[in-house]
Amino acid sequence: MKKFPAFIVSSTLLVILAACAEGGDDGEEALPEEPAASEETEDTEGTAEPEESEDSEGNEEEGSGDEVETGAVDTDTEATGDEETVLEFWIHQTGEEETEAYIERIDAFNEEHDDIYVDAEVIIDDGASAYSDSINAALVAGNLPDIMAVDGPYVAAFAESDVLQPIDDYIDDETIDGYVDSIIQQGTYQDELYSLGSMEASVLLYYNKDLLEEHGIEPAHSLDEAWTWKELHENAQELTTEDYYGLNLFMNEGVGEWLTFMGAPFIWSNGGELISEDGTEVEGYLNAEESLEAFEYIQTLFEDGVVSESPPETQFQEGEAAMALGGPWVGGMADDAGLNWGIMPYPYADEKYSPSGSMAYGVTSNSEHPEEAAELMKWMTNKESTIRVAEATGMPPAQEAAFEELDRFDDLPWSIMEEQVVETAKARPSTPAYPVLTDAFAETFHAAALGEDYESVANQQIQRVERELRRFQD
């Protein structure tokens, strides 16, 4: 009997372990008759083979686990068991309302298509690495879904590595024309189309109406009136007082994607590029005269004390900055704070460009049903879907025609966003080395902001990008 306590301890441990292993499963096992198809994302060592076509075509047991449980959200439609094709679909979750919009559209798709059933799984996207970690794990284990959400600028790396497959065969030109140009740019790698998105994004020059009035500064009311760099600099200087900064660049977001997303148009507008058009050369681009001039301009803004290098998150809505270059979400936050605000277009040097790009969808190479997956992708990004998602998120739609049905884009301030998305939006560079390139740009931008020697930082960063690019040369 002396061993009894130890036995209890060890058996409890085993039970707990077993419970953990089971606990991981039940969320995703939408259709239990598919053994290899739905595995947990964290299970990197799990069954490695992709979905077998026999599984999805043949076995149709009635009433077996029809309920779809996708992360925290349920879908309403249930599989009838008659569908010929089951598509596994990963969507990302940043906000509840957004996910609800996706689920609604997936339900509608399932109702519309008798022969296809979409088995959706919601994966949390914390803005850092949670979502890409899930993709990485599934990649190594070889159990990616048929279609998944991918971040726009990362499409090239997935395309180059044959993780995604081109969808040109399943889409006609007329459909392509419906999208705003930047979405097609973002989804294209080496002249082939890989992804489509339902959302666009932009960065706008928000301004505090009261403060501008106080200083007698007239804001721009349309894209044609957009401020030049010089105007931005002068007005921001005029607006900088002891109580508030002239401009906020949301440097509190850290040295990451935000700096590239927000800052790249400074380079483009001055005639520069981050990388060559085919995405293979960075020397002579990131450190070209045009780019260095742009970094110099950024540096001046900070040196003149117009922008804070570490602003509090709420600087603009609290009235501690007169203007801010921020995403579409800033408007809502300023409303909540009761601020009297407006929107101006992104400032320019020579040519007008504005940031663009958001999450999009891609069909994976191991999908047995690329045609159906492409069908789903088109559905998720069609006019109805883009309108629904735009309403849920406040982001601009990816379909040009959708703007007409969304009233808020008719007048100022949001009409500026429509103009930018339709006319000046430029996708971030399409290169497989994007993860390193974006960090290289952000580091250089940050060096400029800190008053450091951005040119030597740029040169050092270029070596990193070149090393990464070598991986793709063969």
Q: Would you tell me which residues interact with other proteins (CB under 8 A)?
A: 2-3, 6, 10, 13-14, 129, 132-133, 136, 139-140, 142, 157-158, 160-163, 251, 254-256, 308-312, 320, 435-436, 439, 443, 446-447, 450, 452, 457, 460, 463-464, 467-468, 471
Smallest distance from other proteins to CB 359, Å: 18
Smallest distance from other proteins to CB 471, Å: 6
Phi, then psi, of 425 in degrees rounded to 5: -65, 135
Q: In whole angstroms, what is the distance from residue 181 CA to residue 184 CA? A: 5
- Compute the radius of gyration of the chain from its Cα atoms: 25
| Closer of 16 and 412 to other proteins (Cβ) | 16
| Closer of 318 and 350 to other proteins (Cβ) | 318
Smallest distance from other proteins to CB 114, Å: 36
Smallest distance from other proteins to CB 48, Å: 10
CB 118 within 8 A of CB 376: yes
| Closer of 22 and 411 to other proteins (Cβ) | 22
**DSSP sequence for 292-355:** HHHHHHHHHHHHTTSB-SS--TTTTTTTSEEEEEE-THHHHHHHHTT--EEEEPPPBSSS--B-
Instruction: Show the CA angle centred on residue 223, arms to residues 218 and 226, nearest 5°.
Output: 45
| Closer of 359 and 436 to other proteins (Cβ) | 436
Smallest distance from other proteins to CB 447, Å: 6
Smallest distance from other proteins to CB 442, Å: 9
CB 110 within 8 A of CB 76: no
| Closer of 82 and 318 to other proteins (Cβ) | 318
- Partnered with residue 21 across adjacent β-strands are none
| Closer of 12 and 59 to other proteins (Cβ) | 12
Smallest distance from other proteins to CB 115, Å: 32
Q: In whole angstroms, what is the distance from residue 93 CA to residue 89 CA? A: 13
CA distances from 271 to 346, 352, 373, 447, 464 (A): 15, 10, 39, 21, 24
Smallest distance from other proteins to CB 245, Å: 10
| Closer of 76 and 318 to other proteins (Cβ) | 318
Smallest distance from other proteins to CB 136, Å: 5
Q: In whole angstroms, what is the distance from residue 166 CA to residue 54 CA? A: 24
Smallest distance from other proteins to CB 248, Å: 12
Neighbour-count burial of 411, counting CB atoms closer than 10 A to its CB (0-12 exposed, 13-18 middle, 19+ buried): exposed
| Closer of 28 and 439 to other proteins (Cβ) | 439
Q: In whole angstroms, what is the distance from residue 21 CA to residue 205 CA? A: 50
CB 292 within 8 A of CB 447: no
For helices 289-303 and 454-470, give the axis angle rounded to 10 degrees.
Answer: 130
Position 313, amino acid: E
- Picking from 132, 73, 143, the residue whose alpha carbon sits closest to that of residue 105 is 73
Smallest distance from other proteins to CB 170, Å: 23
Instruction: Give the contacts of 256 (CB within 8 A, at least 6 positions apart).
Output: 438, 439, 442
| Closer of 100 and 283 to other proteins (Cβ) | 283
CA 105 to chain centre: 19
Position 387, amino acid: I
Edge-first strand order for the sheet with 341-344 is 245-248, 321-326, 204-208, 341-344
| Closer of 150 and 239 to other proteins (Cβ) | 150
| Closer of 326 and 347 to other proteins (Cβ) | 326
| Closer of 80 and 161 to other proteins (Cβ) | 161
Smallest distance from other proteins to CB 73, Å: 26
